[in-house]
Amino acid sequence: MIGRLNHVAIAVPDLEASAAQYRDTLGAQVGPPLDQPDHGVTVVFIDLPNTKIELLHPLGDASPVAAFLERNPSGGIHHICYEVDDIGAAAARLRAGGARVLGDGTPRIGAHGKPVLFLHPKDFNGCLIELEQI
């Protein structure tokens, strides 16, 4: 059901400094900051030959990433994202297997302009999983 790894998301306390570290220290190709108000974050994508890194920073006090950074002030891995061909079919299969889809279960448009869903970390070894339809 799941396809390739789309990205690893890292919550960061300072988006500009983190983007500069990837660009200047690691020599990575770093994209511009993109506000995602529906998700409460600003993101920066770092393109790698085989996947992407997504730097996440809170956009507003109600951001779920703000709560994550309160618990992890230095930042850390927030979630991993896998690609799926059909997000509706993937969600139905996961629910049938007992996995919890977060929110109301309706896919929302993510930072790549494609439908996404998140799966409860308690159902996946403590890891928040994002599914993105390709």
What CATH number does the domain containing 72 carry?
A: 3.10.180.10
Number of domains in the chain: 1
Averaged over 62-75, what is the pLDDT?
A: 95
Distance CA 63, CA 47 (A): 25
What's the one-letter identity of residue 44? V
So what's the pLDDT on residue 46?
98
So what's the pLDDT on residue 112?
92
Global confidence as pTM: 0.94
18-65 confidence digits (pLDDT tens): 999 999 999 999 999 999 998 999 999 999 999 999 999 999 888 999
DSSP assignment of 18-83: HHHIIIIIS--EE---EEETTTTEEEEEEE-SS-EEEEEEESSTT-HHHHHHHH-TT-EEEEEEEE
90-128 confidence digits (pLDDT tens): 999 999 999 999 999 899 999 999 999 999 999 999 999
Q: Measuring CA to CA, which residue among 50, 7, 44 is closest to residue 23?
A: 44
- Catalytically active residues, by annotation: 130
So what's the pLDDT on residue 82?
98
So what's the pLDDT on residue 61?
84
Full residue range of the structural domain in which residue 89 is found: 5-133
